Chain A
Amino acid sequence: MIALTEIGSYVPAGRVSNFERQSDLNLDEAFIRNKLGVHAVSRMAADEDASDLGVQAFKRLRSADELRLGLDCLAVCTQNPDGHGIPHTSAVVHGKLALPEACAAFDLGLGCSGYVYGLAVVGSFLQTHGLSRGVLLTADPYSKIVDPNDRNTAPLFGDGGTATVLRADAPSGEGWEASAFVFSTRGAEGAALHNNAGPLQMNGRAIFNFAATAVPQQVHACLEKAELAAEQVDLFVFHQGSKYILDTLQRRLKLNPDKVAVSLAEHGNTVSSSIPLTLEPHLANPNVRTVLLSGFGVGLSWASCVLRRRGTSRS
């Protein structure tokens, strides 16, 4: 079986405070704190690009040196690739990290559902082709397409990158296994979040209605597929769209608020990086053995799965 063994993350140091931009964006402090839940959005430096977010996240892996010598598969999930998109960002990362030639490298063009998709794609790729080590990078700097004066998007989206290690050669009982994947797409409503004219445009109400209705249905389907009751899940890691979306999902799914992970305040919604950034600090918590992941957004696209800590069984 393929095991998720480690997550590395990189959030660039640049910040734009939403409190300092209250008057520019016509926001009040209570709305920033209680509804957006984002105090500041992270911004990469002028000399950084998507590949740098991925490279920095990769370098923060404990196993980085070992993987650089023997990586079989590198996937980069991004919708804002380096430059104009050619060559693909995974190839740019491959070059910057001086990875072996015998390493597959490809991009995944997905937004907020991309992490769950990426786990499925890389895990399946390794398994199907008899490969041992893969890394899924998420690196989607939406700052490249956000209009800084758009109050719908500018105070929400932040830059960040993550690296998730998937291995077929992990020692028995180590790491996490992903299962019970459920995928959905509603392309006919893709206009709710797009950048057809250049800058990102979001119909906040449409996205809210989608998230509040479609995601709970998929979460129930995922739980059923995993043969789990919601109470048996130790942690729910949803895409960090906004605090209001997270609160709405918690309320509609009738979840214990303590089981819904939140990590928005200091960097914002980092698109496909938001789930792994939120998940990473919990991987070492021995009380967390079963986690449900659910990503949703651009597409419209949404995907959910369950992670189970290996070497544990639940009665």
Chain B
Amino acid sequence: MAVKPEDIVALILESAPDLRIGEGDLQRPLADLGVDSLDKANVLLEVQERFGVVVPDEDMDSLDSVSAIAGYINSRSGTTG
């Protein structure tokens, strides 16, 4: 089953519940949403554990929005949104 951007938002809010991320924010840079490097590391660890998709360090910079992370997971797990 394809991962939706909303699933990634839920992951982010688990560890950073004070953030406000709406539908219009899904393609904005994570830093603009208040997601810093540590939050991002945490989200990608959760992605690895829940979806079995390992994100190598060299791909980190390209995953700079909620939509980009969801798309990356789907492309690596053979599903499409």
Contact = CB atoms under 8 A, between A and B. Distances in A.
Interface of A: 31, 35, 203-205, 208-209, 212-213, 244, 247-248, 251
B45 A209 contact: yes
Contacts of A251: 14-15
A231 to B, nearest CB: 22
Interface of B is mostly: helix
20 contacts: A31-B36, A35-B38, A203-B57, A204-B37, A204-B38, A204-B41, A208-B38, A208-B41, A208-B42, A209-B45, A212-B42, A212-B45, A213-B45, A213-B49, A244-B38, A247-B15, A248-B15, A248-B42, A251-B14, A251-B15
Interface string B23-51: 00000000000001110011011000100
B60 interface: yes
Contacts of A248: 15, 42
**Interface of A (DSSP majority class):** helix
Contacts of A204: 37-38, 41
Interface residues of B, number: 12
A247 B14 CA distance: 12
A230 to B, nearest CB: 20
A247 B44 CA distance: 17
Nearest to A244: B38
B38 A209 contact: no
A301 B76 CA distance: 32
Given A208-B41, A208-B42, A212-B42, 4 more contacts: A205-B41, A205-B44, A205-B57, A244-B38
Contacts of A208: 38, 41-42, 45
